[in-house]
Amino acid sequence: MTAIAVGIHSVTKRFDEVVAVDDVDLEISDGEFFSLLGPSGCGKTTTLRMVAGLEFPTEGRIDIFGEAMGLKPPNHRPVNTVFQSYALFPHMTVAENVGFGLAMRKVPATEITERVHDAIDLVRLTGMADRRPKQLSGGQQQRVALARALVNRPKVLLLDEPLGALDLKLRQAMQLELKDIQKEVGITFVYVTHDQEEALTMSDRIGVMNEGKLLQVGRSEEIYERPANRFVADFIGETNFLSGRVEESGVVRLAGGQLVRAVTHDPVGTEVTLTLRPEKIHLYLRAGDVAPGMNTLTGTVHRRLYYGDSLYYEIDFGFAHVDARVENAPRQQRFEPGHEVIAAFSAQSAEALAE
Amino acid sequence: MSTPVGTPRLEAASERANRRRGLLLALPSYVYLIVLFAIPLVFVGVYSFASRSRTGKPELADWNLDAVAKLLDSTVLQIAWRSTWLALLNTVLCLLVAYPFAYYIATRRERVRNMLLLLVMIPFWTNFLVRTYAWRVLLDSDGLVTRLGEGLGLWGSMLFSAPAVFLGLLYGFLPFMVLPLYAAIERVDWSLVEAARDLYASGWKAFRRVTLPLTRPGIIAGSILVFIPSLGAYVTPDILGGAKTTLLGNYIVGQFLAARNWPVGSAVSMAILIVMLIATTVYFRSGGRTF
């Protein structure tokens, strides 16, 4: 079993009367790429800052590799942070920025020069050592911030929305690069983001937070396919909600009276919400085309939206509307508003969540 | 229409109109500065080369370099040296007292901050001369400060001594140091300090390596605002120091009023002006650069 890099035990943080982090328990393994995901103000940044030592928990305990951090200031913790706005020192060159942490720890000058050089190479900024932060683009500044943290070889690297200020294309390129760098240096990354796609593609595990609470922790597939509650289902990706009641184990009666097979966790009679992703719904004109064993619901096409790579059909079932996503593939059947269609989905793709 | 919209001629006309409006806004200041500042300064400059008649009237007819040559007189140089030291020491004292205070104000919540800034500015509502006389009362042999010092067994009456002069100067010029420092510290991006702490800097190191360099423009502005008037300080050394030592301020006053030697007074005034102009330019160039 791998060591626990960061242990967060019953941590609560209050600012005056506002509860920013509410009784969070979390263990992050050594070498893991762990993302804290949630909307702004959910407490993910505060959690990260408490690990860094920039804030202290009101209650609870934070351990790093088994050592209780208590009220240790940030300069005595084996972690480094990549700040959201990079926080590069404007009065220092790139090399001075990157070498700051080493200089503070009184590393010999020749070793600093060498390690700074290597770190600048690692983030592919070779030749930029003597520039000032102001003379760099956003993406380059981001790399300096990364090098400045990594050069210290922290046991845990904390990243607070590091790609938030970059445009989409650059962000996607940096996501891959960050993941590669993490593999190369092999240290634990704790990554804070509000971008669900970023979290899904980069992380080994994700912790979803809302209103200070940690709602679910799991691998990307678990979070997406088996959300623990309505908030997680809604926040990660797109989904449809259908209300109903558990009829028997694995069967839900929808508000419209239809019986569908679904993944249930609650006793018979519980009011539940089915979450059903748009891409899991297949549309057919004839009942004979539907594969055996699928749930079917009959409805009318209400609206069609063209997205280029896909089409969204809004289907009216009478008691609810759902969105179905259809790939814009060759020979794919098109449906027109007003058509009566059969929406089919498997039992595995419908998760029944208790209210 | 003969002139289509957006032609260069229309654009030029609009720019001219804009410039005229701009000039109109600045006109009162221009008039004020030219009549009450630039022209008198020219007089002072010209009088530096005049000679003194037997009645004390400046004679412009046979201009010479006598008054300018007096600048190199050992008495004048000694006075200039003494004044420079006094001003420098006062600037350093003000900086040492004002920096922690400005830091304290800048890191308070907004309401407390505004209150404290108001308190810094309140003394300006009373005339400086009156406030200096108030210090004279406080420092007198039965003054509050004196009795406190005697009670503690630490000091007696400081009136008409160097400490009294420094106390008065510190008191008088502190706001000029506090306000620019406050403005500079208030602008500091605190995430930079957090980054320094995260990169193993102790609180003191983070201050030395990040906060202090980032607030240097405030230090420079405050130092200039204190040093220049301290150099010509006249009221404080006169009232609290008992005019026992001659400084540039009372030397110039003496030349104009007592000795009735306007050319020498003018020459010394002009010399201070020129030296200060050069010194501040060099100072700003060296430290006023932005990142």
Type of residue at B198: D
Which of B191, B209, B213 faces A87 most closely, judged by CB atoms? B191
Strands (E), chain B: 51-52, 58-59
Q: What angle do CA B84, B86, B91 make, to 5 degrees?
A: 95
How many angstroms separate the CA of residue A90 from the nearest CA in chain B? 6
Q: Could you tell me the two tokens for A264?
A: 């249930």
Q: Could you tell me the two tokens for B263?
A: 């050319």
SS (H, E, C) A83-142: CCCCCCCCCCCHHHHHHHHHHHCCCCHHHHHHHHHHHHHHCCCCCCCCCCHHHCCHHHHH
- Helices A138-150, A109-122: crossing angle, 10 deg rounding: 130
The full set of domain ranges for chain B reads 8-59, 70-287
Phi–psi pair at A192, nearest 5 degrees: -100, 130
The residue count for chain A: 355
Q: Is B189–A87 a contact, with Cβ atoms under 8 angstroms apart?
A: yes
Residue B3: the pLDDT is 52
Cβ neighbours of B96 (radius 10 Å)? 11
Q: Could you tell me the two tokens for B209?
A: 């390596």
* Beta carbons of A14 and A34 less than 8 angstroms apart: no
* Beta carbons of A64 and A51 less than 8 angstroms apart: yes
Which of B191, B197, B214 faces A74 most closely, judged by CB atoms? B197
What are the strands of the beta sheet with A59-64, ordered from one edge? A18-29, A4-15, A59-64, A67-68
Q: Could you tell me the two tokens for A172?
A: 């996607």
Q: Could you tell me the two tokens for A177?
A: 């690069």
Residue B96: the pLDDT is 96
Determine the average pLDDT of the residues in B8-36. Answer: 91
Q: Could you tell me the two tokens for A212?
A: 């200070």
3-state SS class at A36: strand
Residue A354: the pLDDT is 86
* Beta carbons of A347 and A263 less than 8 angstroms apart: yes
Going by C-alpha positions, the residue among A209, A139, A126 that lies closest to residue A178 is: A139
Of all residues in chain B, what percent are helix, strand and coil, respectively (each to 5)?
75, 0, 20
What are the strands of the beta sheet with A310-316, ordered from one edge? A282-284, A340-345, A295-306, A310-316, A321-327
Alpha-carbon span A89 to A151, nearest angstrom: 16
Phi-psi category of residue B125: left, alpha or beta, with phi > 0 → left and psi -120 to 50 → alpha: alpha
What are the strands of the beta sheet with A188-193, ordered from one edge? A79-82, A156-160, A188-193, A33-37, A205-210, A213-218
Q: Is B194–A85 a contact, with Cβ atoms under 8 angstroms apart?
A: no
Please tell me the CATH superfamily of domain B70-287, with its number.
MetI-like (1.10.3720.10)
Residue B281: the pLDDT is 86
Alpha-carbon span B171 to B132, nearest angstrom: 9
Q: In this complex, is the C-beta atom of A106 within 8 Å of any C-beta atom belonging to chain B?
A: no
Which of B192, B197, B291 faces A75 most closely, judged by CB atoms? B197
Model confidence at B7: pLDDT above 80: no
Residue A33: the pLDDT is 96
How many angstroms separate the CA of residue A276 from the nearest CA in chain B? 42
Residue B288: the pLDDT is 53
Q: What angle do CA B70, B75, B76 make, to 5 degrees?
A: 55
Interface test with B, best of A45, A79, A81 (most B CBs within 10 A): A81
- Ranges in chain A, pLDDT < 50: none
Q: What is the pLDDT of residues B129-143, one digit of tens each?
A: 899 898 888 888 888
Q: Could you tell me the two tokens for A182?
A: 């993490």
Type of residue at B147: R
* Beta carbons of A282 and A325 less than 8 angstroms apart: no
Model confidence at B291: pLDDT above 50: no
* Beta carbons of A208 and A199 less than 8 angstroms apart: no
Determine the average pLDDT of the residues in B245-271. Answer: 89
Task: Name the helix (H) or strand (E) containing A45.
Answer: helix A44-52
Residue B287: the pLDDT is 62
Which of A54, A83, A104 faces B200 most closely, judged by CB atoms? A104
Q: What is the pLDDT of residues B166-205, one digit of tens each?
A: 999 999 999 999 999 999 999 999 999 999 999 999 999 9
What residues contact B216, with CB distance under 8 A and at least 6 apart?
A: B184, B287
Going by C-alpha positions, the residue among B137, B222, B217, B208 that lies closest to residue B175 is: B222
Residue B222: the pLDDT is 93
Q: Is A75–B200 a contact, with Cβ atoms under 8 angstroms apart?
A: yes
Alpha-carbon span A111 to A91, nearest angstrom: 23
Q: What is the interface pTM, i.e. ipTM, of the complex?
A: 0.86
* Beta carbons of A20 and A212 less than 8 angstroms apart: yes
Residue B151: the pLDDT is 85
Alpha-carbon span B136 to B144, nearest angstrom: 10
Q: Is A87–B192 a contact, with Cβ atoms under 8 angstroms apart?
A: yes
Alpha-carbon span B58 to A248, nearest angstrom: 114
Q: What is the pLDDT of residues B64-119, one digit of tens each?
A: 888 888 888 898 999 999 999 999 999 999 999 999 999 999 999 999 999 999 99
Model confidence at B5: pLDDT above 80: no
Residue B6: the pLDDT is 57
Residue B53: the pLDDT is 81
How many angstroms separate the CA of residue A291 from the nearest CA in chain B? 58
